[in-house]
Amino acid sequence: MPWQLGLNLLPDTEDLGQIVTPEIQDFIEEAEAWFTSLLGRSPGGHEHRVMLLALRLAHEAGHAQTPYERRQVVWAGLLHDIGKSALDQKILEKPGTLNVQEMLIIQQHPAIGYRLAYSAPQVDAEILGGIMHHHERWDGEGYPMGLMGESIPLLARVLKVVDVYDALVSDRPYRPAWSMEEAADYLRQHAGTAFEPHLIRVFIERVLSGPSQPPYGPA
């Protein structure tokens, strides 16, 4: 499975079965089938890693206790950037700094993603909120709406942490990948500004540094 490339960047994922239980696998297949029927391709490595990390973080933070909650995380993780499919790929892959106009175009992807995901019968308001608000910041300086603190939907706050982490530990056209420690330092420095402080603590202390994780729900 090509999406497993890069999974070595995730903590404690030698045994993928610990994360992807049969229940989770069903949710992934359900979301992938809808994604593929819409776009003619499967979600990519970033989407898969964000989804798996979001499951880990949500689990450790006590927000993935039921099958329903775990399903929400899977769908929101796999679909969070679906709006980018409607954007000019040249801008998405541009190696240099983006100008203001290009930045504004990129910032449309959460709202476009919301509209695309709205058409999936399995997607509810909570998943849509995760997609729409995954670039909001804890201090209110994010986009698209500048929501602040706990007014940002929980799923979006979780996605925000793992989305940035995955971007930092991945090679980008304009810089090589950071180490796990460098990325953790960045998250720590921006807790309370970009990120919810409690989620950063849980992510660093229990997801990145924690012991091997128990399975999510019945294996």
- Output 45 or 210, the one with its CB closest to Fe ion: 45
Task: Give the Cα separation of 50 and 156 in Å (integer).
Answer: 12
Should residue 136 be labelled a site residue for Fe ion when binding is judged by CB under 5 A?
no
Binding window for Fe ion (CB under 5 A); candidates: 53-61, 75-83, 91-99, 121-129 = 75-83
The nearest distance, CB 80 to Fe ion, in angstroms, is 6
Residue pair 79/117 in contact by the 8 Å Cβ criterion: yes
Dist CA 66 CA 103 (whole Å): 38
In the complex, the smallest distance separating the C-beta of residue 135 from Fe ion, rounded to whole angstroms, is 6
Rounded to the nearest whole angstrom, what is the least distance from the CB of residue 174 to Fe ion in the complex? Answer: 16
- The rounded distance, in Å, linking the Cα atoms of 38 and 40 is 6
Q: Which of 10, 163, 183, 184 binds Fe ion (CB under 5 A)?
A: 163
Size of the site for Fe ion (CB under 5 A): 2
Give the whole-angstrom CA distance, residue 213 versus residue 142: 32
Q: Report the residue number, 27 or 165, with the smaller CB distance to Fe ion.
A: 165
Nearer to Fe ion, 136 or 163 (CB): 163
Burial class (CB in 10 A: 0-12, 13-18, 19+), 151: exposed
Whole-angstrom distance, CA of residue 123 vs CA of residue 142: 24
**Contact call for residue 81 and Fe ion (CB under 5 A):** yes
Instruction: Give the integer Cα–Cα distance in Å for 185 and 93.
Output: 26
Nearer to Fe ion, 69 or 163 (CB): 163
* Span interacting with Fe ion, options 13-21, 33-41, 53-61, 77-85, rule CB under 5 A: 77-85
The whole-angstrom separation of Cα 141 and Cα 139 is: 6
Residues in contact with Fe ion by the rule CB under 5 A? 81, 163
